[in-house]
Structure 1
Amino acid sequence: MPGALTGIRVIDLTQMLAGPYCTMMLADHGAEVIKIEPVEGDPTRRFGPFPEDDTERHFGGYFQGTNRNKLSLTVDLKKPEGRDILIRLARDADVLVENFRAGVMDRLGVGYETLASENPRLVYAAIRGFGDPRTGESPYVDRPAFDVVAQAMGGAMGITGPDAATPMKVGPGIGDIFPATLAAFGILAAHRYAMVTGQGQFLDVAMYDGIVSLCERAVYQYSYTGRPPVPEGNQHPILCPFGMFPALDGRVTIACPRDSFWTELVTVMGRPELASDPRFRTNADRLQNSAQTVEIVESWTRQLTKAQIGQALGVRVPYGEVNTAADIFADPHLKAREMLVEVEHPGSARPVTIASTPIRMTATPGGVVQRAPLAGEHNDRILAGCGFSASNIAQLRESGVIS
């Protein structure tokens, strides 16, 4: 079944996590994504983990997870013939995505203006640490950045941690993944505009900007109160109770963003009088007495297992177990939603499991269709589609322009 983005051709010049995650989102929904790699292959192919029986080491889990559903073309863009290949590809492409530092593509002779002159409807997207001068100057434009840098500067670490003195990095790479998601949205918005007007454009997402937008609560809190928010552990600065609580066999989360949920919670706990207690009647009251509120809930949860808490709360109060990866693999919800999929891992006798797309559609569901590609696996197919003859391709391979 075709995906919602079938017919869109994307040239993917990205590496690491942010860029590949962005183009993965497009590929998962049917876009033809051509991953341009150095002749020796994307450096992240060498990142693990690897299956124990994999002696070939074409790629590890890092690469597999975000490069499924893509085609691979290896090209040396430092050679004139390599640049010519990219220009020929861009003439028929809808989108190009790269996440080099600002100016790299321009120095190679294949920057936005060059490619747009060949294809005026091209949507050219960049994900950089601090943006691109085309959309706004930054004093940090030449600085490299990775997930941890974006998390730190964008404010995520500043509101995450066990206490005010201990900022912490968030476990998942949100400094990459959230800007990548924003870029995918921007690409589709710009592509829609190009379909209507025939005019492409340059767009970029700065990782720093993306995390500031993710931490929007910290922005308005500081604006409204004049006090910068700080890490507050596993509770919430505005809602109470709204956080993590101990159980006999682990931890659960319980959230009462509305007073009606508090009424349901204390009724289940066998303490319905707390619903009308002036110390806890409203969210504002509970925030004022947050330590007591949290202790009341903890005194109930710590006597029960996660399953007992879930059975007691049912559908009455928002709650969830704090899952490990092993718990996630065993969860019937994820099985029913087909969120964990098995794919081939070249060099290994057994398949591996990766996360599928969470974006589900009824007519064009999307998902994982094929494993990540081998380096240069689709060289001949892609180049032949651009008009290169078999002898041309053989000459390019002999001269080291492709692998």
Structure 2
Amino acid sequence: MNPTPTPTALAGIKVLDLSRVLAGPWCTQMLADLGADVVKVERPVAGDDTRHWGPPFLRDADGNDTRDASYFTACNRNKRSITVDMARPEGQALLRRMACEADVVVENFKVGGLRQYGLDYDSLKALNPRLVYCSITGFGQDGPYAERAGYDLMVQAMCGLMSITGHADGTPGGGPLKAGVAVIDVFTGLYASNAILAAINARHHSGQGQYIDMALLDVGMAVLANQAAGFLATGQSPGRAGNVHPSLAPYQDFVTSDGNVLLAIGNDGQFARFCAATGHAEWAQDARFATNTARVRNRAELLASMEPVLRTRTTAEWITLFEDKAVPCGPINTVAQAFDDPQVRARGLRIELPRDDGQPAIAGVANPVRLSATPVAYHRAPPALGQHTQEVLQEMGLDEARIEALREGGVI
């Protein structure tokens, strides 16, 4: 007898996923990981754009590249994939029927783009008043930029994030940089999933769904966090400072005898322990360095004292010494080194998701949410294009003849 499966937090929640690329799929993957039944709707033949965003590609049992880009796998596990041509009336009818039974719809079409298909919020709300409908766009549903297409890189530039990322002008490698990951898309997905859960909870009291307007630019401004707060307090735009923290010191990377070590000293006690560990307890007594505010104001003098000392040992030697003294520090890992880190391995952050077709399992990164009673579950690898079309349509009550007719007509 199979053991009783562990309950999931969103068991019974049905999500119709009309999104593609990253922000929307990141949102719906979060919901799927928490137990929602997410049905991802893709274009026949082509599918989600990210299925083709390679290299890198997945590899087959012989180690050869397939036509499936690994990008897609980052944000589409635990979902079922169906192919439906929403440009056809029959396809629109299928999706409206699914929306009638759904709790949530997520889409990232241009503003008003789904109205022509009868798949916009007003049309679907009339059929299902309990529906929570989340639209993700570059700039939101109103304002002078509402009609523009929006992409992560554009928004990183427009919201000011690139102006504070990278080395300062006039230094080696100086100039604005994007983050190494599409962070605005990822943050938008996380904000969207939070908003959806809030709307579902509100529905418990009102019995009614609601519309959620998510914009990449809004999120980009929000995640400026302390940098935005600093500007609002002073009227001065922060600049780029490389790996140096604008409000803490020492909080950056330093050259060692064989590489780099990162120090993240966040209070005066940690700084005093750092000084003692390096054999320079006098630094903590120096009025220029005794408090964090003083250290920030006298950063150049502090670094001039620290840098020669930190070059005298290897990265590993410093980490061993500082960790023993409770001084926050660490290496600057490559992605390969990060996956090989003992803590990463102990936390099980690399997962393997078996595929139904017998091809090699797809490796992924574990969801970081740890719930004690309703944990995240991994029950499906990222799906092949249209893998579940037959299954989902049968659940809707369509018989074999009807499904075959839709397939022959190019609707699915």
Query: Is this a same-fold pair by TM over 0.5?
Result: yes
Question: 2:53 maps to what in 1?
Answer: 47
Which residue, out of 171, 189, 207, partners 1:180? 189
1:17 lines up with 2:28 in the alignment: no
Q: Structure 2: how far apart are the matches of 1:78 and 1:278?
A: 71
Q: Match of 2:114, SS? A: helix
Cross-structure match for 1:150 = 155
- How many residues in Structure 1 have an aligned counterpart in Structure 2? 398
How far apart, in 1, do the equivalents of 2:315 and 2:302 lie?
20
Measured against aligned partners, the alpha-carbon deviations of 1:188-227 in whole angstroms (never above 9, x if no partner) come to 0011111221110000211011011100222221222221
Answering whether residue 214 of structure 2 is matched by residue 205 of structure 1, we say yes
**Compared CA separation, residues 166 and 348, structure 1 to 2 (3 A):** farther
Provide closer, same or farther for how the CA distance between residues 367 and 304 of structure 1 changes in structure 2, counting only shifts above 3 A. Answer: farther
Residue 87 of structure 1 corresponds to 96
Distance 2:359 2:92 in 1: 38
Amino acid of the structure 1 residue aligned with 2:157: A
Letter paired with 2:333:
N
Pairing 1:2-401 to 2, within 5 Å after superposition: 2-40=7-45, 41-48=47-54, 49-53=56-60, 57=66, 59-132=68-141, 137-164=142-169, 166-314=175-323, 316-344=326-354, 350-401=360-411
Check whether the contact 1:163–1:233 (CA below 8 A) recurs between aligned residues.
yes
Higher mean C-alpha deviation, range 93-102 or range 384-393: 384-393
Q: Is the 8 A contact 1:46 1:57 kept in 2?
A: no
Question: C-alpha distance in 2, partners of 1:369/1:97?
Answer: 21
* Distance in 2 between residues matched to 1:23 and 1:33, nearest whole Å: 7
2:44–2:85 contact (8 Å) kept in structure 1? yes
Contact 1:58 1:374 in 2 (8 A): no
1:295-317 residue CA offsets vs partner (Å, 9 max, x unmatched) = 33332332222221111111511
**Structure 2: gaps of 5 or more residues:** 1-5
Percent identity between the aligned chains? 39
Structure 1 stretch displaced more, 7-16 or 304-313: 304-313
Query: Contact between 1:16 and 1:44, CA under 8 Å: does it hold in 2?
Result: yes
Secondary structure of the residue that 2:74 maps to in structure 1? helix
Distance 1:353 1:248, change over 3 A: farther
* Aligned partners of 1:14 and 1:98 also within 8 Å: yes
TM-score by length of 2: 0.92
Matches of 1:9 and 1:16, distance apart in 2: 21
Rounded to whole Å, the distance in 2 between the matches of 1:370 and 1:299 is 52
Superposition CA RMSD, Å:
1.8
Equivalent residue number for residue 3 of structure 2: none
AA aligned to 2:57 is F
CA distance in 1, matches of 2:53, 2:235: 44
Are the counterparts in 2 of residues 242 and 254 from structure 1 also a CA contact under 8 Å? Answer: yes
1:162 and 1:233 in contact (8 A); partners too? yes
Moved more, 46-55 or 355-364: 46-55
Unaligned segments of structure 1, at least 5 residues = none
AA in 2 matched with 1:13 = L
Distance in 2 of aligned mates of 1:18 and 1:189? 18
Structure 1 residues 278, 158: CA separation in 2 closer, same or farther (over 3 Å shift)? Answer: same
Cα distance, 1:290 vs. partner?
0.5
Aligned to 1:187, what secondary structure does the other structure show? Answer: helix
Counterparts of 1:60 and 1:346, CA distance in 2? 18
Q: CA deviation at 1:147?
A: 1.2
Describe the superposition over 1:135-182 as per-residue Cα deviations: whole angstroms up to 9, x where unpaired: xx2111111111111111112111111104611111111021011110
1:12–1:35 CA contact under 8 A, matched in 2: yes
Alpha carbons 1:239, 1:283 under 8 Å: kept: yes
